[in-house]
Structure 1
Amino acid sequence: MPLTPLDIHNKEFSRRLRGYDEDEVNEFLDQVIKDYEIVIRENKELQNQLLAVQEKLDHFANIEETLSKTIIVAQEAADEVRNNAKKEAQLIIKEAEKNADRIINESLSKSRRVSLEVEELKKQASIYRARFRTLVEAQLELLSQEGWESLEDHSSVEKEQREREVREVY
């Protein structure tokens, strides 16, 4: 058990014949008591300061731990967001590629249909042209035959006859 100022104050020394000067010893003990009390007070103050510093240290250690955990959680969240963004980007790219393939295939199909329709129209135009040419040639051939002249002569005879009949009537 540590020595207290009261223990020093209450200490009694036995007397002997040629001992120390009692007043001098008492003065010295009084000085030791005062110094010892100062040391004890300073020690208590230092212990209180140490406790306060320890509390602050614990507080800052707790903050550090919390920040460390927060940083780890934030990093994990950032990694997760980054990974999700990459996955979403890949899905968007795949969807765009599918749409592009679909559009290209539809365009090729339409192009083939239009090409077939153009070819069909060309064939029909060629057939129509050949038929029309045949018709025109047949009509020209018909016009070039000799029977038309006799019709013209016959038609002028009939015309003259009608004119005579009209004159006779009037």
Structure 2
Amino acid sequence: MRITPIEIQQHQFKTRLFGYDSTAVDSFLEMLADELERLHKQNNEIKESLARTQISLEQMRDREKALQETLMTAHQVTDELKTNARKEAEIVVAEAHLEGERVIRAANEHRIQLLNEVQEIRRQKIAFEGGLRALIENHLKLMDLDMLQIEEDDYQARLLQPLINDDDIDDPFNFP
């Protein structure tokens, strides 16, 4: 027999002479109703959770089935791809041998051309280094001349310094 928390709260007991304390009975019934209500809520939550879990389980079973079918298809496709790849690999290897021979011939021709270019670059480098060396030497000579001129100017300035600091010279701009 199902009983709800409201039925427990509203149930009336017949009173008899020397019967139970009605306050204690009411208090106990209220406590019992609260506990029953909590259990009903908990039961409903468990049912809802179970329903969600069953839905999730069914979805996972569907996914598992789809994955198994996909895996089988993938194995079949893989086998076909391997067979086709072997055939194509044989063709590619044959073409690669022919292309390799052509590339080796072209590389040898290019190597000879590069060796000739390297020799020309070395000749140009030697000529450039000679010109650069001459230019640097000319600049060094000019710098040496500039340094001599600076030293000469310093020497003359030091010779003239005592004359400029002499107190006997009247300052034409100094007005009394």
**TM range, smaller chain:** 0.3 to 0.5
Q: Which has the higher helix share?
A: 1
Return the TM-score normalized by structure 2: 0.45
TM-score, with structure 1 as normaliser: 0.46
Q: Which has the larger radius of gyration?
A: 1
